Each structure stands twice: as structure tokens, then as C-alpha cells.
Amino acid sequence: MKISMKKYLGIELGSTRIKAVLIDESNTPVASGAHDWENKLEDGYWTYSLDDVWAGVRDVYAKLATDYLGKYGEPLTNLDGLGFSAMMHGYLAFGEADDLLTPFRTWRNTTTERAAALLTERFGFNIPQRWSIAHLYQAILNDEAHLKDIKRLTTLAGYIHWKLSGKYVLGVGDASGMFPIDSRVNDFDAEMARSFEKLTGIDIIKLMPAVATAGGDAGTLTAAGAKVLDPSGVLQPGAPMCPPEGDAGTGMVATNSVAAHTGNVSAGTSVFAMIVLDNALSKLHTEIDMVTTPTGLPVAMVHCNSCTSDLDAWIKLFGEGAELMGAAFNKSELYNKLYAAALEGRPDGGGLMSFNYYSGEPITGLDDGRPLFTRLPDSRMNLSDFMRALLYSSLATLSLGMDILTVQEQVKLDLLQGHGGLFKTPGVGQRLMAAALNVPVAVQESSAEGGAWGIALLAAYRAEVIAAAYKEKETGTRSFEQFLDGVFSKGKRVLVKPDRDDVEGFRAFLHNYTSCLDIERAAVANLRFGD
């Protein structure tokens, strides 16, 4: 029997996992696939090879197609919409023959401090180290040989989209992590672009993709692109593609946090909170990134490079110990039990201190990181306090950045929507996040699907815009905000309010954390093996 459902595919390339989600016309996931991968530190840069990018994309699609075939008894031959998202920022520079000129430099690199500082001063606008323009200007300051050959500069999502559609375009949210956006016109800031050209002689606008907002035209899946995505040849070309977006934008979509006064927090390998503003901040804060929603509204973003990586490493170690003793368990059970143990720990972490820095953290002024655990000789060492300290450490730098918004800028927050791996164990990450930020945190039933579901929704919205244009409705299509309100009107969510003891305990931990930052700085300066 031929399945008549509409099918919209979203694929997101995260830091440790590539995920694919297929949704139907009710925006319900009907098939999925996942592919694990890891970045590599090569020649001083965190990177992924393009071979690994394409191998991962093909594998995750193949797994989704197999899942679909198993559920519905027919192959996945056609899509009604398609979209790609990926980790934002970084540096992907291509030459005349579309050849990659230097290995992909990801958001995780903190090698652009000088360039970011100089551009921030020149523009009067915060340019974080992760941004593409900071990477480009640092390459200029370094007098790198490849600069003379650059013809294109894009993000990971923009690169994949370009190769599958032939269209060199980028969603405005992802574009806002390359170069500042003028939200009045939803395009790169022309005045700052002219300033950069005076500084460097480079017309940056010519290098970067065209900018599109949610629902905008971003081309279709070409025959060659379909073959790349599905080498078996079963998938047919022609699916309309939505503008490619960054993981920040799809996080906003997946939590319905795209309208003014809404906000969300994404917690996984990195952690970032995004608050949609209706007014500009009173002054420049180098700890706060200004990006946009997929529709172009200004967003204050607090981004921290490290969140769960060190926590995951410790949990893996405990799992190895349990296996050594002959215990039988799966990965989810291990995480759930260890996370739950944290709730039994003392509210301040019991005098245990952890720094989760796998890389530098601009918010605390560190250019590099060393995962570190320490304690006083008389600190009580037990599992529950240890787990709470690890979880607190994953949230500490975010809390410091958010204090700038809520205390200094008096930004009012009534609620944050949470999503990401930290929230998979019910009630734990959500409760401690509420304590760390002192604001209620809601987790949607659908949030487990994350950014892949978010970009699938953007693909579905692009299809709705196309359908409305064909019908020539005088009233036009719904706004993207209205579209999302319809999606989420049927969803369920769990809301956790801050617990007073947890809030006070976290503040005590954070006081000790900031007092101990010199220990982390000393570790960065002195902890070297094999030199």
C-alpha cells in the first residue's frame, strides 16, 4: 500500500552526533537515524574532515531510510521538504574550484583572540572568537598563504546545502554567526562590511552566502545531491529545501522560542542560552553574542564552549567500574542513576570543585582548558556530592554569563525552554538548571528530538509557503511564529521552578568556583605532558 503522508526531513550535524528526523504533516516524527562522530585536534585546530562529514550524512540518512522501510513497508523515494542544520560559526574557506583551502576550523577553537578583540573595537559590536569573520581576520593577521585563493566562505550547514542544492545561501540565524546582521533588513550589516573592506581590502559580502529568512527560497535537492545523500539511487530529486540553519536557530525552533520575550537553553557538548529581545542592550558586552532568530529578530546569546564532555567522561569511567564488577546495565540506566544521585547531594556540592573546560572559555577569560577536579582534604567525598559538583560545573560558566543579562541589563525572564542531552534524565538537569539561572525551566515532550526536528519544521514551513504561493491566497501564509504556535499547541511540557535550597546551594558553589579560577588558570599554564 502506498503511504500518502507528507514527509519532511531534517538533518543536524552536532558536535558528537549527527541526527536525522522525518516528520509527517502533523509534524510528528515518523522515522529517525543517528550517527556518532568526534572532532579531532590536528595541528592545533579542532576539526572534522569533509570525508567524515559526508560519511556521517550518508550513514544517518541510510539509517533513517531503513527505519522508514521497516515501519511502513515501502522505500523512502520522495521528500516533500528537506533541511540541514549544523554547529554554527567556524571557518570553511573554498577556492575557485570549490576546493577546501584549509581544514575546517570549528567553533571550538579559541585561536582568534586578537582578531576578535580588534574587530570588536572597530565595529563597536561584540565579535566572538568562534565567528567566521574572526577566523578570517586572524588568518589575515597570521599572513596565511591560502588567503589569496579564497572565493567562498560559509558554515558547515551552508556547505552541505550548497553541495546538495547548488544554491549558495544561508539562513539568517546561521549567517549571524558569520558576520553581524542588520535586523532591519535581515542581511549582513553593510556599514560593518565596508569598514572591514577598508581594513583588509576584502569585500566580505562577495565571499559569504546570500541570506534568507524562515520560509525563504533556498532551492531544491538536485539529482546530483540526491545521489550524494542516497548513493543507492532510491531517493528522487526535487524536494524543496529550506534555508540551512545553525544549531542555535534550530534550538529556538524546537522549543518555540522565536518570538520576542521568549528564551531557551541548549545543553549538550556546549551550552548556550538565547533570549529574544525587543530592545538593544544598553552597552556592548564581550560575554554576550548578538545573533538572530531564523526570522531575523535580535537575540542575546550566552555561549559556553564546554558543558557535558567532562561529565560524560566521568560517567563512562563509573560505567567501566560497574562492568568490572559484573553489573548489567544500558547507557540510559547508567546516566539516569548517576544523574539522580546528584539530587541526593548537598545543595552546595559538599566542598567538591570541578572545572569542565575541554577548551577555552571567553566568559571566564581562559584561552585554553584543562578538565580538573579538586577538593580540600576534609571535604566529604561521596558519589552524590561528586555528581552534583560535576553537574554544577557544567552550568557555572553559563550562570556567570546570564548574570550579565539578568542583573546588569535587567532583562526579565519568566521562563526558559530547555533542550539537549543534559535534560534526557527526567527532572535532574532541568532542576539544577533552574537553580543555576534562578528561573523556571520547561522541557517540551518533543524536545528530545532537538535540532533535527527543528530543521524539519523549517522544511515543513518552507513547503507551506510554497503551497500558499501556488494557491495565490491574498492573505498569504502564516508567519513562522504562528506556524510554531500551531505546532506546539498540542504538545506537553514539564515545568520545574527553582528550589530555594538549590538556588542558595548553587550560589555558594559558584562563589567557590570563581574563587578557584586561578587553579584552572595555573593548570592551563602548567599542565603539559610529554614536553
Q: Over 90: is that where the pLDDT of 268 sits? A: no
CB atoms within 10 A of CB 470: 7
Tell me: the pLDDT tens digits for 515-526?
999 999 999 999
Cβ neighbours of residue 57 under 8 Å, at least 6 residues apart?
11, 13, 18, 160, 229
CA distance 16 to 89: 16
What confidence score (pLDDT) does residue 472 get? 56
Give the residue-averaged pLDDT of 223-230. Answer: 98
Q: What's the Rg (C-alpha) of the chain?
A: 23
User: Of 30, 31, 16, 24, nearest to 61 (Cα)?
Assistant: 31
Tell me: the pLDDT tens digits for 396-411?
999 999 999 988 998 8
Give the residue-averaged pLDDT of 352-371. Answer: 93
For residues 356 and 307, the answer to whether their CB atoms sit within 8 Å is yes
Give the residue-averaged pLDDT of 256-274. Answer: 88
CA distance 408 to 399: 13
User: Of 201, 261, 208, 195, nearest to 91 (Cα)?
Assistant: 208
Give the residue-averaged pLDDT of 477-496. Answer: 88
Mean per-residue pLDDT over the chain, rounded: 93
Tell me: the pLDDT tens digits for 104-163?
999 989 899 999 999 999 999 999 999 999 999 999 999 999 999 999 999 999 999 999
Give the residue-averaged pLDDT of 331-339. Answer: 96
Q: Over 70: is that where the pLDDT of 448 sits? A: no
DSSP code for 182: E
Buried b (16+ CB within 10 A) or exposed e, 352-388: bbbbbbbbbbbbbebebbbbbeebeeeeeeeebbbbb
Residue 126 cell numbers, joined: 561584540
CA distance 147 to 351: 50
Q: Over 50: is that where the pLDDT of 386 sits? A: yes
For residues 170 and 208, the answer to whether their CB atoms sit within 8 Å is yes
Q: Over 50: is that where the pLDDT of 474 sits? A: no
What confidence score (pLDDT) does residue 475 get? 47
DSSP code for 445: G
Give the residue-averaged pLDDT of 222-244. Answer: 97
Q: Over 70: is that where the pLDDT of 476 sits? A: no
Residue scoring higher pLDDT (432 or 259):
432
What confidence score (pLDDT) does residue 240 get? 98
What confidence score (pLDDT) does residue 504 get? 98
What confidence score (pLDDT) does residue 1 get? 42
Q: Which CATH superfamily groups domain 309-444+500-526?
A: ATPase, nucleotide binding domain (3.30.420.40)
Q: Which of 66-75, 207-216, 296-305, 335-344 has the lowest mean pLDDT?
A: 296-305
pTM, 2 dp: 0.81
